[in-house]
């Protein structure tokens, strides 16, 4: 039971952190171009980590075939969770974006929330 609970919590934490890392990689190296293959890499790597943790905590004997069953079962259970979190994360990124762009990637306007935040920081400066 402990192995199942730890695996579930680890799955949620690793999913959120891997989506954040994917967004940071896209922002840093590819200038916000979406890379779908990173989703596959995330799912396979998270599945491997969760399967190995479950395998070690459940005190299973070392059978190679059993590890693959645990791994594929983990991926089956992880996919719906990953899809839900990736949709939520995409909506969150869109909401937190500082500006709106047109189809030809030109900035249309900066969001009011960001401008208000910038003005508040200016008023707290030590020089005024």
| Same domain assignment for residues 85 and 54 | yes
Domain total in the chain: 2
- What CA dihedral angle connects 33, 19, 72 and 69, to 10 degrees? 140
- Asked if residues 45 and 92 have their Cβ atoms less than 8 Å apart, the reply is no
| Same domain assignment for residues 31 and 73 | yes
Q: How much is the average pLDDT of 93-121? A: 69
Query: pLDDT for 50-62, tens place per residue?
Result: 988 888 888 776 6
| Same domain assignment for residues 73 and 33 | yes
| Same domain assignment for residues 89 and 48 | yes
| Same domain assignment for residues 126 and 91 | no
Residue 120's pLDDT band (cuts 50, 70, 90): low
Query: pLDDT for 3-49, tens place per residue?
Result: 788 888 999 999 999 999 998 888 888 776 788 898 999 999 999 99
| Same domain assignment for residues 83 and 67 | yes
| Same domain assignment for residues 56 and 66 | yes
| Same domain assignment for residues 51 and 105 | no
Domain of residue 27 covers 2-96
| Same domain assignment for residues 102 and 92 | no
| Same domain assignment for residues 23 and 79 | yes
Query: pLDDT for 65-83, tens place per residue?
Result: 777 888 898 899 999 999 9
Residues 128, 123: Cα–Cα separation, whole Å: 7
| Same domain assignment for residues 63 and 125 | no
User: Closest Cα to residue 55, out of 30, 38, 79, 73?
Assistant: 73
| Same domain assignment for residues 80 and 122 | no
């Amino acid at each position: 039971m402990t192995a199942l609970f730890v695996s579930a919590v680890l799955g949620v934490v690793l999913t959120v952190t891997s989506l954040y890392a994917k967004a940071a990689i896209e922002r840093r190296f590819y200038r916000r171009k979406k890379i779908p293959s990173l989703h596959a890499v995330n799912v396979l790597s998270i599945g491997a980590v969760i399967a190995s943790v479950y395998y070690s905590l459940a005190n299973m004997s070392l059978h190679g075939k059993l590890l693959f069953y645990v791994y594929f079962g983990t991926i089956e259970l992880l996919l719906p969770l990953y899809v839900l979190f990736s949709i939520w994360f995409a909506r969150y990124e869109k909401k937190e974006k500082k500006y709106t762009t047109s189809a030809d990637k030109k900035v249309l306007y900066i969001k009011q929330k960001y401008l208000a935040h910038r003005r508040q920081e200016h008023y707290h400066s030590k020089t005024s």
